[in-house]
Amino acid sequence: MVAGVLLVAVVAAGLLLVAAVFRHFLPLLRNPGAPRGSFGWPFVGETLGFLRPHASNTTGAFLHDHITRYGSVFKSHLFGAPTVVSCDAELNHLVLQNEERLFQCSYPGSIRGILGGSSLLVVTGERHRKIRAMALAFVASTGLRPSYLADVDRSARAVLAAWRARRSTFAFCDEARKFAFCVIVEQVLGLAPDEPVTGRVLKDYSTFMKGLVSLPLNIPGTPYARL
């Protein structure tokens, strides 16, 4: 009896694996006219290579290798979906100039799942324009406050003073992100950078950003599942 159950479980797992592999590579068969490229491994595709950190003055190993092998426009599998990656300036200009006419803005499923269907990044057309106008009006009103520049200057001086007090190296990117975040929460939420709640909000924001650009795997322990 136990052996029979195990056999059924193994067969079912094998069929699911075959189905997942077939589903992963099916777009390659359906779109023979698509640009050259690679889909990588099932489930993860080429997302891990795409997200690998690189120096800010380079395009990174992923783009360099793919452009060398396939050209400036190539297909890949990123964030759980078949994707065409364009590093061609003329094509990118054409896409941006013809949004909502020839092309429609879209984001990976992980972003839609986290932000929701009514987010500014997800909605399109007239709804996007209305939400964008509301957001810009709110941000513009914040910048008109008399104390805005003084608050930014005070925050910048506090950051520089904290750097001088350190006795070890640190990542400038992290500090720049923290400075920008503190300026935003002070202007929008009225939270001072030295308040304990600001630190907690920053921690939640860091968790949010890690999940936003990650594989959409809702498995305990993954950045996506933490959200």
Tell me the pLDDT of the chain averaged across its residues: 79
Residue 86 to residue 63: CA distance in whole angstroms: 10
Tell me: pLDDT of 14 over 70.
Answer: no
Residue 145 to residue 190: CA distance in whole angstroms: 12
Tell me: pLDDT of 12 over 80.
Answer: no
Tell me: pLDDT of 19 over 60.
Answer: no
Tell me: pLDDT of 162 over 60.
Answer: yes
| 37 burial level (CB within 10 Å; 0-12, 13-18, 19+) | buried
Q: What was the pLDDT predicted at 3?
A: 62
Query: 3-state SS of 115-164?
Result: HCCCCCCCCCHHHHHHHHHHHHHHHHHHHCCCCHHHHHHHHHHHHHHHHH
Q: What was the pLDDT predicted at 87?
A: 92
Look at 20-24, 94-98, 165-169 and tell me which has the smallest mean pLDDT. 20-24
DSSP string, 151-201: HHHHHHHHHHHHHHH--S---HHHHHHHHHHHHHHHHHT---TTSHHHHHH
Contact 100, 127 (CB under 8 A): no
Tell me: pLDDT of 24 over 60.
Answer: no
How does residue 157 score in pLDDT terms, banded at 50, 70 and 90? confident
| Count of other CB atoms within 10 angstroms of residue 225 | 13
Query: 3-state SS of 20-50?
Result: HHHHHHHHHHHCCCCCCECCCECCCECHHHH
Q: What was the pLDDT predicted at 216?
A: 73
Q: What was the pLDDT predicted at 91?
A: 92
Q: What was the pLDDT predicted at 65?
A: 94
Tell me: pLDDT of 21 over 70.
Answer: no
Instruction: Identify the residue with better confidence: 76 or 148.
Output: 76
Residue 82 to residue 80: CA distance in whole angstroms: 7
Q: What was the pLDDT predicted at 7?
A: 60
In degrees and rounded to multiples of 5, residue 3 shows phi and psi of: -65, -40
Residue type, 204: D
Convert the pLDDT of each residue in 90-104 to its tens digit.
999 998 888 778 887
Contact 39, 76 (CB under 8 A): yes
Cross-strand pairs, 77: 82
Q: What was the pLDDT predicted at 73?
A: 93
